Amino acid sequence: MAKMLIAILVSFVSVCAAANEPNATSVPDPFKMNQLLGRGVNLGNAFDAPTEGEWGVVLQEEYFQVVKDAGFSSVRLPVRWSAHAMTTPPYTINPDFMKRIEWAVNCAVSRKLPIMLNVHHYGELYANPAAEKERYLALWKQIAEYFKDYPDTLVFELLNEPQKELRAGPWNEQLKESLAVVRQSNPNRTIVIGSAHYNQIHYLTLLDIPKEDRNIIVTIHDYFPLTFTHQGAAWLSRGDPNDWLGTKWTGTEDEKQEIIRDLDFAAAWGKKNNRPINLGEFGAYEKADMDSRARWTKFMADAAIERGMSFHYWEFCANEFGLYNQKSKTFRKPLLEAVLPPK
């Protein structure tokens, strides 16, 4: 009898120990994961460029430590996988490029820095969703299987800013299919999904996510008003951004209410649908004056946090929006203090 009791006790202890293992199969709470993401920053203009370095950023390991030491909670890693994969079946991702992305993920994970890994700038999919769907799903199958054994602090974002011909209808179809592909190898990983029409807030009403999958964070992007945040931005196709040069953001009540209305809408949608919200991109272009940029950025960041959202500022170290000057290896202090409370 004594031996039987000991055996039962040992079995019980083993089960409890297994349940407390970090790689146990319990599904993470997406709200807690969203809190872990907290105040984050995009490591942009590197892997989302056609080739790394083409847009002025080559990621360095030291950047991850700089981000961590500054006090950021997480990073978002935009990746243009479509520029590094075969265009015919089986759509194999270049192994050297995959290793480079793995290096970046490891730089974050080794520093206990949660990281959001996405599919970014997939122009072919935006232009022709039906023709490109098979390739898109094949890319996610490879990415998901490659990183399936990574800790929960690696989260996947299915697609940055669905746009153009990838409207709400086809995107809702493809997000379900890509989510199912990822779930085959990553049943418990937190997934990030945004709406069609560039992840704009008021298109949340058109987003259709499988209700049974609760381990999802919903992302939004907010660069409004564009006449301020994108003044002088040559790549913008709306109007003539040069006509907006000199636009300031002084923090009047009307200016603040424009942001509050949008973020309140997103927060209310999240509450109604029981989904945590991430503000995945926001920032003001360098041609705006620094005082206005810092003022707008701080109001946006603080308003998101007050509403229980996480955020990722766009972005870390490129000239156009960057917080960090690569040459001097110093932060642009007004912007840094806008997104992070001063230590």
**In order of start, what are the domains of the chain with their CATH numbers?**
28-339 (3.20.20.80)
- Write down the pTM of the prediction: 0.92
Assigned token pair, 61? 């390991």
Rounded-to-integer distance, Cα 34 and Cα 49, Å: 27
Active site residue ranges: 161, 281
Rounded-to-integer distance, Cα 119 and Cα 117, Å: 7
Digit-coded pLDDT (tens) for 173-230: 999 999 999 999 999 999 999 999 999 999 999 999 999 999 999 999 999 999 999 9
Digit-coded pLDDT (tens) for 292-332: 999 999 999 999 999 999 999 999 999 999 999 999 999 99
Residue 172 and residue 208 in contact, taking contact as beta carbons nearer than 8 Å: yes
Rounded-to-integer distance, Cα 115 and Cα 329, Å: 22
The H or E element spanning position 301 is: helix 290-306
Residues in the chain, overall count: 343
Region of residue 331 (phi > 0: left; psi between -120 and 50: alpha; otherwise: beta):
beta
How far apart are the two ends of the chain, measured CA to CA in Å?
61
Digit-coded pLDDT (tens) for 6-33: 343 333 333 333 333 333 457 889 999 9
